[in-house]
A and B are shown apart, each in its own frame.
Chain A
Amino acid sequence: MSHSLLAAAVILAQILLLLAMSFSIIRMVRGPRAQDRVLALDALYVNAMLLLLTIGIRSGSLLYVEAGLIIALLGFAGTVALSKFLMRGQVIE
């Protein structure tokens, strides 16, 4: 009983996270300005990281957690570089 509940909850959570990712993709496509797109990209990778955690719970493998860790770090670097680009027009000065 409780295990089918858990299975249903994980699948429902994955559907919710996929919807969240598609919302951020819609915002990324619609814009209207560059800062909106960067913000949507930031939200997209956080949602992807959470989705990886649920996949990890479903498959019972800790490797997904490490993948999530890497996504969190690389996403940070990407967003910082993009914000810097928006401010100055170049990444490294």
Chain B
Amino acid sequence: MSHLDALPPWAAILVAVFVMLGALFAFVGSLGLLRLKNFYQRVHAPTLGTTLGTFFMLAGSITCFSVLHGRPIFYEILIGVFLTLTTPITLMLLVRAALYRDREEGSADVPQAQLHE
């Protein structure tokens, strides 16, 4: 870990905190995927990883590389931009597909389609 020794102490602590927080949010999100009872509850869990989990991890990565290279490096932000643009689309499509499948089977747990649909 020679290159990380070049970081000043404040940056090292900041990066450590950011990386830990990011991993923790992603972990809790995936734990929810395992723990929650049905599909519609589980859909909410991975959003933790894609919002704050990614946010903190990107903040850690940006701090680390910017201090290491001595110039602002923030093209990691593009990962955040793409994720915030794409996650709502995937989740909405997935929930609509699940609702469609449940309605086709006549499941009682989901609201039925309106008549004029």
Contacts and interface: CB of A to CB of B under 8 A. Distances in A.
Is there any pair of Cβ atoms, one from A and one from B, under 8 angstroms apart in the complex?
yes
Interface of A: 1-3, 5-10, 12-14, 16-17, 19-21, 23-24, 26-27, 33-36, 38-40, 42-43, 46-47, 49-50, 53-54, 56-58, 60, 62, 65, 68-69, 72-73, 76, 79-80, 83-84, 86-87
B88 to A, nearest CB: 11
B26 A10 contact: no
B49 A54 contact: no
A53 B58 contact: yes
A1 B73 CA distance: 26
Contacts of B45: 43
A83 B29 contact: no
Nearest to B53: A50
The DSSP consensus for interface residues of chain A is: helix
B75 A65 contact: yes
A86 B30 contact: no
Contacts of B76: 53, 65
Contact of B7 (A6, A13, A56): A6
B110 to A, nearest CB: 12
A13 B22 CA distance: 8
12 contacts: A2-B10, A5-B13, A5-B16, A16-B27, A35-B94, A35-B98, A39-B46, A42-B90, A57-B19, A62-B73, A76-B82, A83-B94
B57 A46 contact: no
A26 B30 CA distance: 10
Interface in B1-46: 1, 3-5, 7, 9-10, 12-13, 15-17, 19-20, 22-24, 26-27, 29-31, 33-34, 39, 42-43, 45-46
B94 A7 contact: no
Nearest to B90: A79
